[in-house]
Structures are given as C-alpha cells and as structure tokens.
C-alpha cells in the first residue's frame, strides 16, 4: 500500500502587495495541484495560507510515489516482421534494438487492422520527493506577476525579495533549491514580536507553531474574521457600528500578520460633508474603517489596524488622527469651492475634456446623450424634459475639484451638487444612477430618468467605441463594454422596459460623424450584446437549447426575449413538448429539403388526418393572435400544444412528398402554416429531448 504524508511548502518574502496577495495565494495552490494531478500524485485535502510575508500551501495525505505504469510501444506489422525463411526481418530487429531488448522478448498485439509487434515495459513510479521540487518551481514560474524584481546580486526574479523556503514531506525536509534558496524546515515569525527562526517539525504543526511561537495568524480568513469582530467591538464602545466593505477587509487582512485595532477620532465639523466623501477618504487613502450609527449616519470616529501590539497605542492613535486631518480639510475645501459654481455653468468646460479621439470631447458626448435620452423618453412615454436636463448635466461633475481628487465619487458628487443647485430631485438622482449597476449583481437605477440616462450613457459608450474600431478581444476590455452591455440588458429586463435594443443601437450609431462602416458595426454590436444576453439568461437558470429556440426567431426587445424564454421553459415541461419539438424539427427538414414549393394557399387535401389537422391549425391560428398581441407566449404555446395528437396522426398516415405535385404543394403549405404559428414565438425544434 502506498504511504501517505502531509506536504508543506512555505515561501518567505518581503511584504507582498496586499491587493494581489489572495490572487497569488490562490494561483500558487491551483498550479501546484495541477502539477500534482499531472504527475499522478493523489492527495486528500488542500489549503492555501497567506500573510504579508509568506505564501504557503499544505497538502494533506499526499501519496509517496506515483503508480507504476505499463508503457507500450508498437512496432512493425507481424507480416513484415519475418523474412521468407521465418527469421526476424531487419525492421523487427531494429525495433527490438530501439526498445533496448531482444527480439524474443517482443509481444504481439491484434487490432482491427492486423497484428503488430509490441514492446511492453513496466515503468516504476517516481517518488513525491523526486517530483515535488520541479512542480513547485514550475508553479512559481507561472504565477500571475505583472512586474517581477531582482534583488542583491541574485539573477532570480519574484514579485518581492525572498528570504526563506520551507519544504517538508512528513517530518523530512525535501532538499532542493527554490528561487535561489536552499529549502529547510526553518520559518520566521512576526517581524517585531518574534524575529527568531522557528523550526517546523511537521506540516500539521505549521499553523500552531506560527501562532504560538511566531505571533502570526497564517489563515487570511481567520484574520478577516478577527478584524471584523475587533472592529465591531471597538465601534460598539463609542455607540456605533463598524462600516466594513469586503475589499477593504481583505486588504487590511493582507497588510497584517497579527492585527490590533486602534480607535481614532476627527473633528465633528467634517460631518457636514457628504458621508460618501468622508468614507472614501478614510477607506481609500488611509485604510480606515468608518463608524456609523444605527441610522447609517457617520460618527466622528474611525478604526485602523496596527501590525504590532504597542505598549503605547495612544501614540499610534494620535499619529493616525494627525494624518487624516489634512485629508478631511482638503475635502472640506473642495466642497466649499465647488459649490460656488453651479453644475449648469460647467457645461461649456466639458469642451476641454476629451472622451475619445474619434468620438470628440465630453461636450460632444453630452449632446449625444441628450439626443438618446430624448429618444428613449419618447419610447417609454417618460418625462422628456427631465431626461434631457439630466443628460445635459451628466458629466459636469467631472469638472469639479472634488471629483478631481476622488474620481470614484463621480455621479455621487453630481447628485449632491445638483441638489445644492435646486435641480429636480429625479434629475439629481439620475446623475448618480447613470453609473448603475456598478458591478455584477448590484442595483439598477430605480427612477425612470435614472434608467434613461444610464441606458443613454452605456449605449453611447458601447456604440462609440465599436465605431472607433476598439473592439474588446480576449480578456482585454479597457472601456468596460462587456459590463456596459450587461448593464443595458439588466436595466431593460429587470425594470420591464419595452425597448428595441437593435433600434436603440442604430439610433446611437447615426449620431456619429466620423467614418465607419455602419452596417458592419451594427452587426458586430448586436452580436456582442446578444452574446451577453446569452450569458445573462444562462445565469438565470435557462438552458442553452431554450435560448437557441428563442434567438432563432430574432426578437429585438430584451424584455420580450425573456418573456418568450420563460414561455419556452414552461412549454417544455408539458407532456406534449417532446413530440411537438420533434415534429417541428421534422417539418423544418421537410420544408428545407423539398424541391416542391409550398402552395400560397392550401388547396384540396384528401386524407382525413390532414383535413382534421388543417381545420385545427386554422382554429389555433385564430386563437393565438390575441394572445400574441398581449405577449402571452405561454398561453399561445399551451394552445398550440393541443395540436399534438393531430400532428402525430398526420405523420402516421400521410406521405408529404407524394407523386401528385399539387397535393404535395398543399401538404407543404399545411406544414408551413403549422410551423409559422410556432415560429411567432420560438423555434421549438431546437429543444433537446
């Protein structure tokens, strides 16, 4: 039985980039496991660990050796392996020699194409101790590091200088060289609290050895939980709640090996500023957690985390309070200065900001936004004046000092300044909502004006960048066109807006004055958007064949598309669905392959089954029209499902391609009538049984 032991690999470094720490940790684990799988080394469980000064992987129950393998090498055919006198041919002897064996040791293998000479050899599996060093070195080489560095006189490269490497299999050190370092079982603890080397006796003792002797918590998830709890405990002492966003929580956990909370305070006067400004200042610039009350309003406190347990924490507190004061004072200055000029007075200054070389300035974009907002408002029977005003002011906060300092607040700052200018509240909200949804799964605009402006902005960017020839490729999407397309679809679908996306794209493209191929660009954009729709639908739980059934009839309204899709999903649950899907596929093939053209009107039919089907098909055609006008696709498909038995009877008793050409044309016309009724909703022949 193959022996199993735990494997531990730890790479000790200078402080790693906090925003990339988890990416590096996950990549190291995944690439290491890929190497073990490729080598045929089995294991029971895995875990990655990461701190500012280390990346580590623990593999539990790693087998000690590969399984032995039988290697086969096929030689010449048996009929070519012997001469006329029965002795081995030159080809056979050459094959035996190339295998390092005698001719008599070769075996024979029979296949459908004849009998062949074959050499079989059992290759003993290598040990994990032999294989792991190369797997680790290869994994490190493949890590996603944008910019590597060298240090000292070393020629090796890594994201940061490395200082130690631990590699243990059970209680045995696997001796090798990694990034110029010889591996051993010596790690290092906290830089200040436990600077001496620590011996790791076995992989299973790794976590506790660093915790107790090294004053380091190596599990980032444990550190995150500790930070979250400590922050809330500290906030509770001042009657508040820690405002914790996941990205910052992860970053703080990546900055500290032994996180210690420190409460800080700032002047109450700064609470007069928009809370988003204060939160952004504390989070982005200082890595502080803001403190809020139960109503969600900010309190004049913040929580920071230190990587040392200081004997004088008040000194750290005062230092952080000194640092944040000028940041908040700058924000206060920007707030007061910006409000001396209205947003409307800044419209002309948009001429000074280039949106994109071929697409002109932000002033040009604003004019296009106004045209698109007018178009969408008319289509939705919405307030055109509010939509146009929101479009006019949409980008004016880019001129403000506040957005110049805090770019992530564009839109939010616009909302505050618009309210200060006594603009309509819906217009003010739209200035922020134009950037919704900000990320996958986040909210879409809740007001109609916000929805209109957000759609106009995203459609203008999407069509403009495509018309400029800057089409996303692979993972490269610098203008966020995939996100914009998904945002357009979500706003339309989730807010139940009846908008024709193809017409909207065409309208937007007609607003550009530079040279580009209109029809070619339009097709590319439509394909791009509907590919995003496909992904959206699959995420919502629809199946690929259901999507294909609907897209086959080319609906142009995303909301209508979803309604059809839901109807198809419900239809396939009916007992008649499988038979009707197969029948529609058969009908499509017959109509496609027939050399006879279907009659323009259905003339005389002779068989009782086809006469019955015609009567029922004409009745269903009349019945589904009012349902289709109300977009009741589910009702229409349920009505068409009633044709199932008549369709089955038709195919059981009627030959469509009969010798009588007139009768054949009439039968084809009947099938066409039937097919077209389904195709008004979807091509159900695409459904798989």
**629, 634, 635, 638 alpha-carbon torsion, rounded to 10°:** 140
Strand partners, 10: 56, 166
Residue 294 DSSP label: T
Report CA 370 to chain centroid distance, whole Å: 32
39/102 same-domain check = no
Kindly list the distances between the CA atom of residue 390 and the CA atoms of 394, 397, 415, 494, in Å, as whole numbers in the listed order.
6, 12, 10, 22
Write phi, then psi, for 628 (nearest 5 degrees): -65, -35
Supply the pLDDT for residue 518.
95
Write phi, then psi, for 585 (nearest 5 degrees): -65, -40
Closest CA to 590 of 526, 656, 531: 656
113/131 same-domain check = no
Instruction: Tell which of 156, 185, 212 closes a domain.
Output: 212
User: Does 558 reside within a domain?
Assistant: no
Q: Which residues contact 656 (CB under 8 A, 6 or more apart)?
A: 590, 594, 664, 667, 668, 671
- 643-668 average pLDDT score: 92
136/112 same-domain check = no
Residues 23, 28, 29, 31, CA torsion sign: positive
Supply the pLDDT for residue 2.
62
User: Does 557 reside within a domain?
Assistant: no
290/359 same-domain check = no
Closest CA to 437 of 404, 384, 381, 484: 484
Supply the pLDDT for residue 80.
77
User: Does 133 reside within a domain?
Assistant: yes
Query: What whole-number distance in Å separates Cα of residue 214 and Cα of residue 6?
Result: 21
Contact 112, 123 (CB under 8 A): no
Closest CA to 135 of 171, 176, 181, 166: 176
Look up residue 203 and give its two tokens: 């992989």
pTM score: 0.84
**Quick one: which H or E segment has residue 122?**
strand 114-123
Query: What whole-number distance in Å separates Cα of residue 444 and Cα of residue 430?
Result: 11
**276, 279, 280, 284 alpha-carbon torsion, rounded to 10°:** -170
Supply the pLDDT for residue 323.
95
410/421 same-domain check = yes
Sort 355 into a burial class: Cβ within 10 Å, 0-12 / 13-18 / 19+.
Answer: buried
Per-residue pLDDT of 93-144, as tens digits, reads 888 788 877 877 777 888 777 788 788 776 787 899 999 999 999 999 999 9
Q: Tally Cβ neighbours within 10 Å of residue 301.
A: 21
Residue 281 DSSP label: I
Write phi, then psi, for 19 (nearest 5 degrees): -75, -15
pLDDT at 412 over 70: yes
Place of tokens 């024709």: 500
User: Does 571 reside within a domain?
Assistant: no
498/600 same-domain check = no
- 155-173 average pLDDT score: 95
State the CATH number of the domain containing residue 167.
3.30.70.260
User: Does 59 reside within a domain?
Assistant: yes
Supply the pLDDT for residue 114.
77
Query: What whole-number distance in Å separates Cα of residue 187 and Cα of residue 213?
Result: 11
Structurally, the chain folds into a number of domains equal to 5
User: Does 269 reside within a domain?
Assistant: yes
Instruction: Tell which of 337, 371, 395 closes a domain.
Output: 337
Contact 506, 529 (CB under 8 A): no
Calculate the average pLDDT of the chain: 94
Contact 43, 62 (CB under 8 A): yes
3-state secondary structure 446-478: CCHHHHHHHHHHHHHHHHHHHHCCCCCECCECC
Helices (H), 477-543: 481-494, 501-509, 518-539
Look up residue 46 and give its two tokens: 């895995």
Q: Tally Cβ neighbours within 10 Å of residue 602.
A: 19
State the CATH number of the domain containing residue 624.
1.10.730
- 185-204 average pLDDT score: 95
User: Does 98 reside within a domain?
Assistant: yes
pLDDT cut 70: percent of the chain above it? 99
Place of tokens 């969408």: 376
pLDDT at 1 over 50: no
Kindly list the distances between the CA atom of residue 74 and the CA atoms of 70, 71, 102, in Å, as whole numbers in the listed order.
13, 10, 15
487/616 same-domain check = no
Place of tokens 């932000």: 362
Report CA 463 to chain centroid distance, whole Å: 22
**Quick one: which H or E segment has residue 133?**
helix 128-141
Look up residue 50 and give its two tokens: 């990461």
Which of 236-240, 462-466, 493-497, 592-596 is predicted with the least confidence, judged by mean pLDDT? 592-596
Instruction: Tell which of 491, 514, 541 closes a domain.
Output: 541
Q: Which residues contact 167 (CB under 8 A, 6 or more apart)?
A: 8, 9, 132, 133, 136, 173, 174, 176, 178, 183, 184
Strand partners, 476: 473
Place of tokens 């996303």: 472
Query: What whole-number distance in Å separates Cα of residue 640 and Cα of residue 583?
Result: 13
Query: What whole-number distance in Å separates Cα of residue 445 and Cα of residue 434?
Result: 8
Closest CA to 587 of 681, 687, 673: 673
- 477-484 average pLDDT score: 94
Q: Tally Cβ neighbours within 10 Å of residue 490.
A: 21
Supply the pLDDT for residue 87.
81
370/508 same-domain check = yes
174/315 same-domain check = no
Residue 259 DSSP label: -
* Maximum C-alpha span of the chain: 109
In three-state secondary structure terms, 348 is helix
Q: Tally Cβ neighbours within 10 Å of residue 3.
A: 11
Per-residue pLDDT of 351-382, as tens digits, reads 999 999 999 999 999 999 999 999 999 999 99
Q: Is the backbone peptide bond immediately before 437 cis, with ω within 30 degrees of 0?
A: yes
Contact 108, 101 (CB under 8 A): no
Write phi, then psi, for 182 (nearest 5 degrees): -85, 130
- 497-515 average pLDDT score: 97
Beta strands 289-292; 241-242: pairing state: antiparallel
User: Does 560 reside within a domain?
Assistant: no
**Confidence band (pLDDT; 50, 70, 90) for 279?**
very high
Contact 462, 368 (CB under 8 A): no
407/467 same-domain check = yes
Beta strands 114-123; 360-361: pairing state: unpaired
Range of the domain at 102: 69-123
39/185 same-domain check = yes
pLDDT cut 90: percent of the chain above it? 85
pLDDT at 190 over 60: yes
Query: What whole-number distance in Å separates Cα of residue 283 and Cα of residue 280?
Result: 5
Per-residue pLDDT of 282-292, as tens digits, reads 998 899 999 99
Out of 107-111, 333-337, 593-597, give the one with best mean pLDDT.
333-337
Q: Tally Cβ neighbours within 10 Å of residue 232.
A: 17
Query: What whole-number distance in Å separates Cα of residue 94 and Cα of residue 101?
Result: 10
**Quick one: which H or E segment has residue 666?**
helix 661-679
Closest CA to 216 of 232, 233, 200: 200
Residues 523, 525, 526, 528, CA torsion sign: positive
Closest CA to 401 of 348, 351, 332, 345: 332
Query: What whole-number distance in Å separates Cα of residue 326 and Cα of residue 301?
Result: 16
Q: Tally Cβ neighbours within 10 Å of residue 385.
A: 13
380/497 same-domain check = yes
Per-residue pLDDT of 16-63, as tens digits, reads 999 999 999 999 999 999 999 999 999 999 999 999 999 999 999 999
Contact 259, 313 (CB under 8 A): no
């Amino acid at each position: 039985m193959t022996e199993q032991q735990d494997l531990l690999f730890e790479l000790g470094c200078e402080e790693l980039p906090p925003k990339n720490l988890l990416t590096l940790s996950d990549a190291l684990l995944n690439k290491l496991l890929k190497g073990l799988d490729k080598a045929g080394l089995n294991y029971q469980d895995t875990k990655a660990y990461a701190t500012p000064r280390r990346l580590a992987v623990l593999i539990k129950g790693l087998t000690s050796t590969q399984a032995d393998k039988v290697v086969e090498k096929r030689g010449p055919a048996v009929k070519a392996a012997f001469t006329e006198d029965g002795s081995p041919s030159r080809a056979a002897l050459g094959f035996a020699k190339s295998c390092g064996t005698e001719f008599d040791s070769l075996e024979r293998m029979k296949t459908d194409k004849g009998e062949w000479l074959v050499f079989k050899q059992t290759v003993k599996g290598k040990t994990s101790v032999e294989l792991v060093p190369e797997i680790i070195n290869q994994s490190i080489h493949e890590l996603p590091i944008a910019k590597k560095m060298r240090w000292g006189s070393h020629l090796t490269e890594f994201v940061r200088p490395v200082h130690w490497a631990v590699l243990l299999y059970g209680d045995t050190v696997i001796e090798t060289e990694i990034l110029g370092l010889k591996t051993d079982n010596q790690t290092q603890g906290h830089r200040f609290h436990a600077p001496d080397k620590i011996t790791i006796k076995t992989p299973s003792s790794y976590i506790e050895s660093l915790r107790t002797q090294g004053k380091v918590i190596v599990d980032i998830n444990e550190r995150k939980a500790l930070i979250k709890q400590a922050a809330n405990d500290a906030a509770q002492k001042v009657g508040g709640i820690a405002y914790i966003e996941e990205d910052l929580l992860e970053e703080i956990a990546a900055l500290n090996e032994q996180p210690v909370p420190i409460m800080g305070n700032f002047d109450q006067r700064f609470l007069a500023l928009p809370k988003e400004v204060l939160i952004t200042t504390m989070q982005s610039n200082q890595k502080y957690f803001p403190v809020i009350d139960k109503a969600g309003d900010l309190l004049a406190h913040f929580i920071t985390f230190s990587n040392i347990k200081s004997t004088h924490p008040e000194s750290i507190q005062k230092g952080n309070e000194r640092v944040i004061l000028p940041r908040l004072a700058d924000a206060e200055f920007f707030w007061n200065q910006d409000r001396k000029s209205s947003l409307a007075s800044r419209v002309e200054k948009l001429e000074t900001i280039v949106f994109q070389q071929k697409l002109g300035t932000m002033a040009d974009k604003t004019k296009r936004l106004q045209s698109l907002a007018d178009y969408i408002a008319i289509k939705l029977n919405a307030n055109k004046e509010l939509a146009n005003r929101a479009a006019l002011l949409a980008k004016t906060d880019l001129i403000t000092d506040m957005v110049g300092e805090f770019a992530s607040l564009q839109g939010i700052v616009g909302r505050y300044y618009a309210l200060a200018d006594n603009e309509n509240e819906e217009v003010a909200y739209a200035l922020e909502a134009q950037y919704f949804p900000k990320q996958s799964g986040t909210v879409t605009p809740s007001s109609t004006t916000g929805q209109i402006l957000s759609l106009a902005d995203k459609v203008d960017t999407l069509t403009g960048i495509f018309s400029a020839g800057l089409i996303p490729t692979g993972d490269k999407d610098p203008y966020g066109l995939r996100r914009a397309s998904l945002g357009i679809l979500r706003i339309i679908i989730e807010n139940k807006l009846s908008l024709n996306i193809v017409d909207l794209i065409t309208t937007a493209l007609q607003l550009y004055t530079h040279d580009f191929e209109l029809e070619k660009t339009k097709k590319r954009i439509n394909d791009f958007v509907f590919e995003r729709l496909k992904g959206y639908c699959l995420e919502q739980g629809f199946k690929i064949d259901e999507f294909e059934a609907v897209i086959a009839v080319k609906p142009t309204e995303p909301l209508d598309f979803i309604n059809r899709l839901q109807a198809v999903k419900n239809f396939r649950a009916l007992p008649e669905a499988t038979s009707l899907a197969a029948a529609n596929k058969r009908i499509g093939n017959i109509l496609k392959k027939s050399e006879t053209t279907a009659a323009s009107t259905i003339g005389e039919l002779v068989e009782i089954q086809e006469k019955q089907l015609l009567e029922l098909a004409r009745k269903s055609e009349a019945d589904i029209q009012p349902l289709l006008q109300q977009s009741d696709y589910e009702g229409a498909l349920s009505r068409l499902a009633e044709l199932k038995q008549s369709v089955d009877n038709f195919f059981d008793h009627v030959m469509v391609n009969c010798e009588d050409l007139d009768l054949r044309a009439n039968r084809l016309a009947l099938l066409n009538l039937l097919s077209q009724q389904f195709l008004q909703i979807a091509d159900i022949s695409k459904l798989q049984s």
